[in-house]
Amino acid sequence: EFNKLDVDYYLTGCATGGDTLKAYGELLANNPELKEEAEAFSKKVKDINEYLVDILQVDLTSMQGLYGRVTYHDPCHLNRGQGVSEQPRKLLKDLPGIEYVEMEAASDCCGAAGLFQGFYPEIAVPITDLKVNSIAKTGADFVTTSCPACLNRIEGSLNLAGCKPKALHIVDLLAMAYE
């Protein structure tokens, strides 16, 4: 049904969902009835960061911006799965008023890993603690990411630890700057 739509791209703000949608062509490669349709669909799927930077080539310099320090957590499915990691950083670095600070181990897992966090909390919690410590060391006012699961995991853990940074999806940070 998606291929019947007259669109150039399907945008996603979820690293895990986007990674899966981009893999439809591969996942259905052995299905002769759906192979071509799945491949055509997958080629049009873009992460919002990828779309804004690589395709739209958005210029943020005219935005009023925000003020504060920002760091970024690489979601596993975006960085390793889709190969998208420089684009979110470019958006943050180009945003007026933002001081971008790279955290230690930015591309290490946050402990969410989908259902992993529910099945193996004894492993997930120490992983998240490492991420929260990395975030805290930056002195950031905001920590952004591009995955709802990572966002929930990080936000909850920051709140439990009483840490200062506000966790936001990168699109929410951009929306705040746009307003």
Kindly report the pTM of this predicted structure. 0.93
Judge contact between 169 and 145, C-beta under 8 A. yes
CA–CA separation, 95 vs 90, rounded Å? 9
Judge contact between 77 and 16, C-beta under 8 A. yes
CA–CA separation, 42 vs 10, rounded Å? 9
Question: Given a cut of 80, is residue 1 above it in pLDDT?
Answer: no
Q: Other C-beta atoms within 10 Å of 59: how many?
A: 8
Q: What percentage of the chain has pLDDT greater than the value 70?
A: 99
Residue 72's identity, in one-letter code, is Y
pLDDT tens sequence across 99-149: 999 999 999 999 998 788 889 999 999 999 999 999 999 999 999 999 999
In this prediction, residue 144 carries a pLDDT of: 98
Q: Starting at the edge strand that comes first in sequence, how are the strands of the sheet with 68-72 ordered?
A: 98-100, 68-72, 142-145, 166-169
pLDDT tens sequence across 44-82: 999 999 999 999 999 998 887 788 999 999 999 999 999
Mean pLDDT across 156-171? 94
CA–CA separation, 95 vs 98, rounded Å? 6
